[in-house]
Structure 1
Amino acid sequence: MKYIMALIALTLTLNTFAQNQSTLPKKLEKKVDKIFEDGGWKMPNTPGISFAILQDGKVAYKKSFGASDIENNVPITSKTRFNLARTSAYFTSYAILKLITENKTTLDEDVRKHIKELNNFSHKVSIRDLLNGSSGIYDFYVLMSINGWNPTDNFSQKDVLTLVSFQKQAAFVPGTDYSLSGTNFVLLAELISKISGKSYKQYMEENIFTPIGMKDTFVRTKANRIYNNVAKAYRTIDKEIVANDSKNEILGANNIFSSIEDMILWEKHLSTSEGQHKKIIQLMDTKAQLDNGRINNTNYGNLTLGQLYGHKERGVFSTYIVGSSGGHDSSIFKFPNQKYVAIALSNDGNGYNGYTGVIAAHRILETHFTEPETVDFSKIQTKKLSINKLQKFEGQYWDPLGELSREIKVINDTLRYVRNSNNASALIPLSENRFQMKVQYDDKIYILFPKDKPDAMIFEYAGAEQIPFEKYIPKVFSDDELANNFNGYYINKECNITFSVKTRDKALILTNSKVGDIKYSPIKSNVFLGDKWFMQSIEFKKNQSGKVIGFYVKNNAIRNLWFERVNLNSVLKKASM
């Protein structure tokens, strides 16, 4: 048996070398190779990466590094399949837009017509709203976590649709704001099935994968089923590599598996533009915008209906999409005008492999960039400000939707943007109230203190929409004050989730049997910051008598999820029913 396993491993290794290819000049090839060497991808018998670069529609570089299965020392090849995670939405958007160009539906059709779980939803939601990220429907990943699900738990499409059916009120009127929500693509997968009369899996295989020739690509509907040539998912905990596979069965937003060979075919397919396909590509490239015409201009870039974000990288327009699920990560970075595409698929659970495609572009497209790799702060014209003027900006600032608390502080005669005690960035004064953040790379980040709003701070990143922060004085409570004001039981009636709130060491502890403890420290008199990503901040509400009657969970993915304060007897009675 050992001999057979060794022979298999040797054969796969030889195949890997045979499948690796590069038409780049040797000097450039070595520079790209070094990206993976420096990133630790070439370490023996460790999780790895499959990577490709297309230039002018042709493969310029295609190599795989590391192990698909470290227990059996099976190498990654160009045929190894990975979960594309959120990059699955790239295909889902293509599929629904294909149905639209075939006149089987429209961008403005009300989704509630097809999906019964939305029958009680308070507003019309269009397909356009789902693609734009402007539906006002809560993100299922956050809802699942609040319900006590772990990322590695087995949960299904049906579970997500059940959660969707609980939401009656939109987070905002659809079409009037943006909110990141994976639920949009679960609903799009359902729509594809309802409109086509086929399952999502069948439709994708018959209308996209097979016609393009993507033989290694499939939709995973059963998490426990064993599929051939799928990379095992890993992550590193305390320097130990452990299995980290996601067991969810979510469709539309996740669970399309593919290889680097097939993703090359996909990108080649997208580069053609004839007949009906040309109409699909035009829709894919259309910028997402609200009913009032406002473009979705986020820190990530401008979102398109095809789910790629567009922004300028060192002065050159680029687009990208990234995904992460369990230990599988995917990314596609493009420089459309230079006809450059970089695709990365990996299984090491680091969460972001897209830098490989960007750095490779810096090497290969070196002469195309109009801005340097790093900002030369010595060439920036600065404004000399006294320590007294700098100290006027000092204080704590709060971003409610981003759930961020940041400190502005003078350290060693320099104003700094403080994330924590070990992470602070210098702010270079450009004027009396505008600063540029000193960063290591080419990012241009500005901090503005509006003259007409002395208690505000504005965060600007690379021309994206401004993020407002509000200045606050941290609130300190005694244990008695916390207990008297906030202790008790709180329930979200739609999802039937109950948390108890108690006091410990000048902090609030929210707990239930599924989620465990979440520790909250006061930010303001009614706002508390927690230590769990899915409920990172809560905002308490009081009645006219000053008594706390409940709290909201507020963030970009969940807006105003209400937990009402109730007495213990009513909770126990409901639990026994």
Structure 2
Amino acid sequence: MRAKISLRGSALTLLGLSVSAVSLADADIDIAIDKVFSSQDSTRGPGCAVGVMRKGEIVFQRGYGMADLEQKVPVTPRTAFSIASISKQFTATAIALLEEQGKVSADDDVRKYVPELRDYGHVIRIRHLIHHTSGLRDYSNLWGLSGRNRSAPITRGEALDLLARQKQLNFVPGEQYSYNNSGYLLLEVIVERVSGLSLGEFAAQYIFRPLGMRHTLYYYGDRTATPSNDDTVPIIENRAQPYLKTASGEYRLVRTSYDSIGAGGVITTLEDLARWDANFYDNRLGKGGPALIERLTRLRPLNGGQEGTYGYGLMIEQYRGVPTVFHSGGAGGYSAFLQRFPNQQLSVAVLCNEGRLTVGKLTRSTANVFLGEQLPVPAAEELPDSTLADMMKRVNAAGPPDSKTMSEYVGEYFSNELDTTFRVAVKDGKLLVTAGYAPPREPKRFAPDQFFYDGVNRLTFKRDGRGRVTGLQFNAERIRSLDAPKR
């Protein structure tokens, strides 16, 4: 039995969404899209909802797989999903509306609104947060590196305290692009401190309600979109449960909570995303007209004049020779992708309740069905991610450190910026590093004194001029040169 539910024609009209014709026959489209989502078309696993819009009008939408494995509820086009980082475009739009109201400027110093931040000797402006060019370290990566539970809620106070502890930036603001959740945490704070409303309330009042997005909200997971002291949470109709597949092939539920929602807290449906998509062709938010859309899709060059690729929560690049505006989202047991082709006035949304899916590939394959002949460059072969294989080659070539070197590493290292102690020990001939109260990790050596610590960070044991180990240093794309001196 297959779990596949679709809506067409009159069913969509009843939902208040108009339907425009497509060039391919319905049967041909059904066959092609079914093939794209064949792996999700099952009653035994989670699935995806896929929607295709032309100028905001739905021309195809279908659900595959199960929204709730325990209750045996299938995914439908009306199923609600967390869209994780796709939420950033709504947070950025809130800032754009405040700009339009004259209440903030993209060139304002962030410390004007968030004085808790350290003065790094370089002005971090609101536009740096929007375009991921602030140089700030990523608070969610810092939290994970510190040994705290990634799935436990990080209160906003804790996140701000963590950022305030950081002694340096990854780079001078405006010099580089580096995708960063800290910027959107701070944008959330700015919206609230300027407007007097929570981000969830502001978005509901100025974005979701004006567009008729009745099934869209900012959501904390285990808390309400407006923080309160009670233990209640809102009921969300038709919500998909989040799943991850274990190494044994078993699906497990994932529970995540957010105290900060600016970087990825929106839950929505395909039908509401169609309403959002339509607004890019005929803006009804704020003062109306094209000025707001132009602001959202504006690119800022870096300090050196290099062209940017990130607008207001939107990635703006090319796919198969044509311009495209898109964003991905992934958190816990959810994966999502929303891609717009402005010149062809076509958009594709794929919302899934299985974490770690390659939703970008599913989205592009769907777009190819509808736009194949309109895309001048042939589709490139989708190559597998070779990061893990490359890492293991380097580890195997370097081999583990000898016992003398491991004994030199043993000790405690404290990071004031993380408020965390790292304990390095040797057990059964293995080097183990324990961060706070987290389980110990066995880092993998790829060069002298250098190790892959986890799937994100690299660890280096630092030495003084006499060769004595003096500290640890962690490096990653979103956290650079974070030191933990040896006690």
* TM superposition score category, shorter chain reference: 0.7 to 0.9
Aligned to 2:75: 76
Whether the aligned pair in 1 keeps the contact of 2:56 and 2:275 (CA below 8 Å) is no
**C-alpha offsets along residues 311-342 of structure 1, whole Å, 9 cap, x if unaligned?**
33222232210001121221111221111100
Matched, 1:369 2:375: yes
Going from structure 1 to structure 2, the CA distance change for 1:278 and 1:17 (only over 3 Å counts) comes to: closer
2:170 aligned partner, one-letter code:
A
Higher strand share: 1
Aligned to 1:227: 235
Displacement, 1:258?
A: 0.7
Displacement, 1:106?
A: 0.9
Whether the aligned pair in 1 keeps the contact of 2:40 and 2:48 (CA below 8 Å) is yes
Match 1:526 to one of 449, 467, 476? 449
Distance 2:28 2:20 in 1: 10
Matched, 1:344 2:350: yes
Distance 2:240 2:387 in 1: 36
Match 1:538 to one of 422, 435, 459? 459
Aligned to 1:197: 196
Displacement, 1:550?
A: 1.1
RMSD value over aligned CA atoms?
A: 2.9
Q: Partner of 1:337: helix, strand, or coil? A: coil
Distance 1:22 1:37 in 2: 23
Whether the aligned pair in 1 keeps the contact of 2:36 and 2:366 (CA below 8 Å) is no
Distance 1:136 1:420 in 2: 30
Aligned to 2:475: 554
Going from structure 1 to structure 2, the CA distance change for 1:420 and 1:559 (only over 3 Å counts) comes to: closer
Q: Partner of 1:100: helix, strand, or coil? A: helix
Work out the number of aligned pairs and report it.
Answer: 459
Aligned to 2:167: 168
1:141 aligned partner, one-letter code:
S
Distance 1:125 1:245 in 2: 34
1:29 aligned partner, one-letter code:
I
Aligned to 2:105: 106
Q: TM-score, normalised by structure 1?
A: 0.73
1:169 aligned partner, one-letter code:
Q
Q: Partner of 2:60: helix, strand, or coil? A: strand
Going from structure 1 to structure 2, the CA distance change for 1:185 and 1:525 (only over 3 Å counts) comes to: same
Going from structure 1 to structure 2, the CA distance change for 1:273 and 1:213 (only over 3 Å counts) comes to: closer
The 5 Å alignment of 1:413-492 reads 474=398, 477-483=401-407, 485-492=408-415
Whether the aligned pair in 1 keeps the contact of 2:165 and 2:416 (CA below 8 Å) is no
Whether the aligned pair in 2 keeps the contact of 1:121 and 1:167 (CA below 8 Å) is no
Match 1:256 to one of 241, 245, 266? 266
Displacement, 1:273?
A: 4.7
Going from structure 1 to structure 2, the CA distance change for 1:255 and 1:280 (only over 3 Å counts) comes to: same
Aligned to 1:397: none
Going from structure 1 to structure 2, the CA distance change for 1:538 and 1:214 (only over 3 Å counts) comes to: same
Matched, 1:269 2:279: yes
Q: Partner of 2:40: helix, strand, or coil? A: coil
Identity of aligned residues (%): 23
Distance 1:61 1:69 in 2: 23
Aligned to 2:16: none
Distance 1:249 1:354 in 2: 27
Distance 1:16 1:74 in 2: 20
Aligned to 2:437: 514
Distance 2:33 2:170 in 1: 46
2:280 aligned partner, one-letter code:
L
**C-alpha offsets along residues 493-541 of structure 1, whole Å, 9 cap, x if unaligned?**
13221111123577532114522222223333232222x224x311232
Whether the aligned pair in 1 keeps the contact of 2:20 and 2:57 (CA below 8 Å) is no
Aligned to 1:242: 252
Whether the aligned pair in 1 keeps the contact of 2:43 and 2:74 (CA below 8 Å) is no
Q: Partner of 2:167: helix, strand, or coil? A: coil
1:521 aligned partner, one-letter code:
K
**C-alpha offsets along residues 336-381 of structure 1, whole Å, 9 cap, x if unaligned?**
1111100111112243323222112212112112222347xxxxxx
Distance 1:494 1:374 in 2: 43
Q: Partner of 2:90: helix, strand, or coil? A: helix
Displacement, 1:35?
A: 3.3
Distance 2:399 2:54 in 1: 56
Displacement, 1:90?
A: 1.1
2:87 aligned partner, one-letter code:
S
Displacement, 1:17?
A: 11
Aligned to 1:501: 424
Structure with higher RCO (Cα < 8 A, 6+ apart)? 2
Aligned to 2:149: 150
Q: TM-score, normalised by structure 2?
A: 0.86
Whether the aligned pair in 2 keeps the contact of 1:232 and 1:245 (CA below 8 Å) is no
Displacement, 1:165?
A: 1.9
Distance 2:358 2:154 in 1: 24
Distance 1:15 1:179 in 2: 40
Aligned to 1:456: none
